[in-house]
Structure 1
Amino acid sequence: MYIHLGGEKIIRSSELVAIFDISIEKSSKISKQYVNHAQQQKHVEMIGEEEAKSIVVTQNTVYYSPISSTTLKKRANQFVANA
């Protein structure tokens, strides 16, 4: 199954590790360090030109998505329920 992250970006649901609200960058030092490390390794991708509302972590990449974390979690849960 696949999850649409916004724009033209779609990932396999099996690649999904976590979905976070964008506010986690400000409230969690560990999350900020993780994203900074991913940026240094060039494993961060901005989706679209809209302001990011969520951070999606996959096995290989960190995505900044313009879709809210609540909506993305609902999409991910639909696939889990149907599996």
Structure 2
Amino acid sequence: MALSRGKCLLRYIRQSKGLTQETLCSRVLDKTGLSISTVMLSQFENTKRPMSPEQMRAVCIVLKCTEADLYEWPL
């Protein structure tokens, strides 16, 4: 059985912090120097594109969460 990608919970975490996609992208760039576009962020949130380890860490720094918080893995 192949490992399937889990559901991305980024949208829920971002919205719970009261942030728009634009604001999150801007804060990631300001705080980490990593550029993430709103299109890319939308693809992450819709589980259409996986985050790289660098992108995941940068998002976690801004949202003050862990990498494990970002995905819900099927059992």
Question: Do both share a fold (TM > 0.5)?
Answer: no
Higher relative contact order (CA 8 A, sep 6+): 2
TM-score (norm 2): 0.28
Q: Which has the higher strand share?
A: 1
Q: Which has the higher helix share?
A: 2
